[in-house]
Chain A
Amino acid sequence: MGRSEELYETSANDLQALRLELIAIGSPYSESLAIGKAIRVALNQELVGASALIKTNDEIAFFPPVTGG
């Protein structure tokens, strides 16, 4: 998405709803987070499933499959 972090206010209460909300904003989210793309999600720096619940002040990261090692 070309940015490492940003502060974002949302009324979404799970990660899937947040992803859909961001996609609806348009570019660059609509391309980067498009449904069908392989996206990993971390909630407060732990890998979680797409439907994990979110709350105020959570740190959320969407990123592509990892390729370290």
Chain B
Amino acid sequence: MNYSVSIQKEDFDLSHEVAHLRKGDPRVGAVCSFIGTVRSHGDGQAVTALELEHYAGMTERSIEKMITLARERFDIWGARVVHRVGVLHLEDQIVLVAVSSAHRAESFKACEFLMDYLKTQAPFWKRECTPEGSHWVDARVSDDQALAKWGIQSDNAI
């Protein structure tokens, strides 16, 4: 049983996180991970940095809930979610989702499910800094559609 969530300002290290996720569990035969990073272009504008805010307390709860849902749907042995907040610069890491399982199919699916869920259900907000000033990022309908393929309706962007 290895499920944990961290919301932090500090950076994270993929190797360290995956090593911890696998450690002491010989049932694990597959680990799948996703990392989201800060890119230079938002909706057609040059981005120089991101500022991430969250709703402390609810954030952790919502991610724990999504891990519970993933465990009900997929045969997984562990999951690790790290999401950074505060000011992040180009190429910085923003989010990590890593999942362990016996075989690859389950961890691939669970990893994608967790990211799709997080994008529309966890209370984080991004502010993009550009040379012209900063603005809050708009939610995307495509993220709601990504969650819909798992049979979960989301109206986040509406």
Q: Residues of A with Cβ closer than 8 Å to B?
A: 38, 40, 42, 45-47, 61, 63-69
What is the chain B residue whose CB lies nearest that of A45? B58
Whether B115 and A47, one on each chain, are in contact in the complex, defined by CB atoms closer than 8 angstroms, is no
Complex: A1 Cα to B63 Cα, angstroms: 25
Contacts of A42 in B (CB 8 A): 55, 58, 123
Which B residues lie within 8 Å of A40 (CB)?
123, 156
Q: Is the interface of A mostly helix, strand, loop or mixed?
A: loop
21 interchain pairs (CB within 8 A)? A38-B139, A38-B158, A45-B55, A46-B58, A46-B61, A46-B62, A61-B123, A63-B123, A64-B139, A65-B139, A66-B122, A66-B125, A67-B124, A67-B125, A68-B83, A69-B83, A69-B115, A69-B118, A69-B122, A69-B124, A69-B143
Task: Output the nearest chain A residue to B143 by Cβ-Cβ distance.
Answer: A69
| Closest residue of A by beta carbon distance from B125 | A67
Shortest Cβ gap from A52 to chain B (Å): 15
| CB nearest to A68 among chain B residues | B124
B residues with CB within 8 A of A: 36, 52, 54-55, 57-58, 61-62, 83, 94-95, 115, 118-126, 136-139, 143, 156-158
Q: Of A46, A47, A61, A64, which is within 8 A of B125 by CB?
A: A64
Chain B, Cβ-Cβ closest to A69? B119
Give the CA-CA distance A42 to B140 in the complex, in Å. 20
- Determine if B95 and A66 form an interchain contact, defined as CB atoms under 8 angstroms apart: no
Contact B118 A65 (CB under 8 A): no
Name the distance in Å between A68's Cβ and chain B's nearest Cβ. Answer: 3
Among A38, A42, A61, A66, max chain B CB count under 10 A is at A66
Q: How far is the CA of A55 from the CA of B118 in the complex (A)?
A: 28
Across the interface, do B58 and A68 meet the contact criterion of CB distance under 8 Å?
Answer: no
Q: How far is the CA of A42 from the CA of B125 in the complex (A)?
A: 15
With a cutoff of 8 Å between Cβ atoms, the chain B residues found around residue A46 in the complex are 58, 61-62
Whether the pair B126, A67 counts as a contact (CB closer than 8 A) is: yes
